[in-house]
Amino acid sequence: MYRCTRNDRERVSASHAISQGISADGGLYVPESLPRYTHEDLIRLSHCTYPERAARIMSDFLPEFTREELLSCANAAYAKEKFSGNSPAPLSLQQKGQKNLYILELWHGPTCAFKDMALQMLPHLLTRSLHKTGNPRTAVILVATSGDTGKAALEGFRDVPGTRILVFYPMHGVSNMQKRQMQVQEGSNVAVCAIEGNFDDAQTGVKRIFTDPAVKAKLEEHGMMFSSANSINWGRLLPQIVYYFSAYCDLIATGEIDRPGEEINVTVPTGNFGNILAAYYAKEMGLPIHRLICASNANNVLTDFLRTGVYDKNRPFHATLSPSMDILVSSNLERLLYHLTGGNSAQVAAWMKELAASGRYVVDASTLEKIRSLFWAGFCDDENTKASIRSMYETEHYVCDPHTAVAVHVYDQYVEETKDLETPAVLVSTASPYKFASGVLEALTGEKPLGDDFACVDELAAMTGAPVPEPIQALRGKAIRFTGSCPVSGMSDTVLSMLV
């Protein structure tokens, strides 16, 4: 069963948590208890394929689903046509100095960013959850995106029976590559619209539509209901736990790990705290992780929090080379606080209230001590991001994207400060370098590129020889389908005209 982070009295099933997305009081759903895995379990898992690993681990959290059902979801989500290569989450070994560094590449899916790992699975979990809760209506997914989430959600939900998806993006707030990815979106149940405003306008507009009684009534008349695909949905977090287990199993399979309980370090480029929270759950489930290393960009609110226990979003917002981590309020942190306080929902609710009122809260000494025993935190500005991209290329001939480069730099800081060279290190790579080709090219050449995004892709490919992912190549030939835009005040009308 699942609990709510802000309210002791709420206790819901997995399918309810997933179809609902967020609790009515704004709290997030968290599992009441966690399964434990032994070394023997991990050895057994190491003989399995990725979809089998996913079905095994997810079945512990979804008792209303059979193992066969989850295996068929995982086989569909991680099919070869969607994720190129032998595994959807391969480990690539780099020798960094004397250290063995394993890069967990999570960008081999249809949109070339790690959000595919969850958003290819969520539609299966969501539609089946709606069915299990006796809700036969069509789920309408509304998304406000600043870039990666919109495209990944569109790809995940395209042509999924029983769903419609509408994405709003800020007209001038996404990169050209990201805009093009969305404008050419295929599928019979999808729509995309630019709004005349920034990301906050889009987000506020979507939230307003979610709770607009007139729009809701209209949807109900037509047998539809709103649902959410954003990263606070448990159905997006759960598939992310799998790849940490999978990485460890791969290290067992190659012989890098040969002792029961042998620990690894995990470094995660972090924004909304979803990805690294999945690693925390894996650790609590018995996966031997020594330190969870949290890497932030210049928006370093998490670095300060994990070191001092003071969360303070009252600071300048920086637009960086790693835009998917430009976040000052990390929603999923709330789940960690719930677990570390032993499920003290009153305390969590009070901190979240302070955050909403003043942008700041301070945790108690015992919570801070727990945080510091689990996490190590650092940050990396744009100059160091570029330097990391350059040094990974020059010394290892590995081309990494700016988000991954932030993690590389912070991992280097960790080793420098702790001298912990022995623990095998897994570093999470969250995007293909070709998705952010102009930033990567600038890092490698030292000059701002002049051409458009596709020219940067070609130049980067010619320079490095790294293969261009098929979904990025395919974008060039695709017809543009969605060029519409609307003012913020017209969003409800747009939604209704697209749907009914």
Residues that bind ligand PLP (CB under 6 A): 113-115, 148, 231, 269-275, 324-325, 403, 430-431
Give the CA distances from residue 112 to residues 70, 151, 208, 267, 483, in Å, rounded to whole numbers and listed in that order.
Answer: 24, 10, 31, 20, 23
Give the residue numbers annotated as catalytic, written as ranges.
Answer: 115
| Antiparallel, parallel or unpaired: β 138-144 and 163-170 | parallel
Instruction: Closer to ligand PLP by CB, 406 or 495: give it.
Output: 406
3-state secondary structure of 451: coil
* Closest separation in Å from C-beta 408 to ligand PLP: 13
Residue 377 contacts residue 336 (beta carbons within 8 Å): no
* Closest separation in Å from C-beta 261 to ligand PLP: 27
| Antiparallel, parallel or unpaired: β 425-429 and 99-105 | parallel
* Closest separation in Å from C-beta 8 to ligand PLP: 27
Instruction: Closer to ligand PLP by CB, 189 or 320: give it.
Output: 320
Residue 46 carries which side chain, given as an amino acid letter?
A: S
Instruction: Closer to ligand PLP by CB, 65 or 398: give it.
Output: 398
Tell which residue, 207, 272, 274, has the closest CA to residue 234.
274
Q: How many helices (H) and strands (E) does the chain have?
A: 22, 16
* Closest separation in Å from C-beta 323 to ligand PLP: 9
Q: DSSP label at 478?
A: P
Instruction: Closer to ligand PLP by CB, 31 or 269: give it.
Output: 269
Instruction: Closer to ligand PLP by CB, 332 or 423: give it.
Output: 332
Instruction: Closer to ligand PLP by CB, 4 or 302: give it.
Output: 302
Neighbours of 342 (CB within 10 A): 10
* Closest separation in Å from C-beta 223 to ligand PLP: 33
Tell which residue, 36, 69, 33, 31, has the closest CA to residue 51.
69
| Antiparallel, parallel or unpaired: β 264-269 and 289-296 | parallel
Identify the H or E element spanning 264. strand 264-269
3-state secondary structure of 179: helix
Instruction: Closer to ligand PLP by CB, 19 or 332: give it.
Output: 332
Bridge partners for 269 per DSSP: 295
CA distance 217 to 407: 46
* Closest separation in Å from C-beta 277 to ligand PLP: 8
* Closest separation in Å from C-beta 63 to ligand PLP: 26
Residue 183 contacts residue 212 (beta carbons within 8 Å): no
3-state secondary structure of 304: helix
